[in-house]
Amino acid sequence: MIRLTGATVRYGRRTVLDEADFHLPEGGVAYVTGRSGAGKSTLIKLITQETSAVGGEVRVEGRPLGEWKKHHLRRRIGILFQAYELLERKTVRENIALAAQVRGLYGEEAERHMRRLLARVGLEGREREYPGELSGGEQQRVAVVRALMGQPKLVLADEPTGNLDGETAAEVMALLHELQREERLTMLIVTHDRELMARFPAACWEVADGKVRSG
């Protein structure tokens, strides 16, 4: 699903990824860990084309990144952020509909999909509420539903439990693993929470000194 071969990313003079290799097969789950500033988020940005490699090759679904139109690729990826990135002035429903609409999902089909996912994450009947009225864990669950609108096969989660307390973080992580199995997703989770990684085992990669090593 995702393959990096000798990928190099530089921000100015600083080399963040230095001829890094990485592979995540279809249907697989992988944690990417490492110290702050090591380049974990850069790996996600590289895949979503927010940044580009100056050397090496990145392939998604077997195709080099250069062959993808940026927005076509992004529609196939569900993305989760540490700070949820919900729009405060929009209701839960509107936040989710935003993803549906930009991905070309409308009407009854979008509605059915949204209801199913909201029920799945335990937020049925909360569609009219605003993000400010929800707890951190609930907001991240709304973000999970938004990420899964349009049925992407790849989910990139950038520290999805970073803003949550221990128990809520565990609930969200459990939910992600369950959804990964149910929806047959390929999932890359950036985290540095070793306790959670031990509780929900999966392949683990560490970013250090510009390299991505299987750990």
Q: For residue 171, count other CB atoms closer than 10 A to its CB.
A: 16
Per-position b or e across 79-117, b if 16+ CB within 10 A of its CB = bbbbebebeeeebbbebbbebbeebebeeeebeebbeeb
- Smallest gap from Cβ 99 to another protein, in A, equals 5
- Of the candidate residues 19, 61, 85, 183, the single one contacting another protein (CB under 8 A): 85
Residue 41 Cβ, how far from another protein at the closest point, in Å?
Answer: 13
Using rule CB under 8 A, residue 54 touches another protein: no
Least distance in angstroms from the C-beta of 74 to another protein: 4
Q: For another protein, which residue of 14, 57, 67, 102 counts as binding (CB under 8 A)?
A: 102
Q: Are 197 and 31 in contact (CB under 8 A)?
A: yes
Q: Please tell me whether residue 93 binds another protein under the rule CB under 8 A.
A: no
- How far apart CA 215 and CA 212 sit, in angstroms, is 9
87 binds another protein (CB under 8 A): yes
Between 33 and 49, name the residue whose CB sits nearer to another protein: 49
Q: Shortest distance, CB of residue 102 to another protein, whole angstroms?
A: 4
Shortest spacing between CB 154 and another protein, in angstroms? 12
Q: Is 50 in the site for another protein (CB under 8 A)?
A: yes
- The C-alpha atoms of residue 117 and residue 126 are separated, in whole angstroms, by 12
Binding residues for another protein restricted to 152-211, rule: CB under 8 A: none
CB 103 within 8 A of CB 150: yes
Rounded CA separation 85/139 (Å):
9
Please pick, from the candidates 93, 103, 153, 192, the single residue that binds another protein as defined by CB under 8 A: 103
* 7 touches 17 (CB < 8 A): yes
Torsion of CA 38, 41, 46, 47, to 10 degrees: 130
Interaction of residue 106 with another protein, rule CB under 8 A? yes
Q: Closer to another protein at the Cβ: 150 or 160?
A: 150
Residues that bind another protein (CB under 8 A): 48, 50, 70-77, 79, 85, 87, 98-99, 101-104, 106, 146, 150
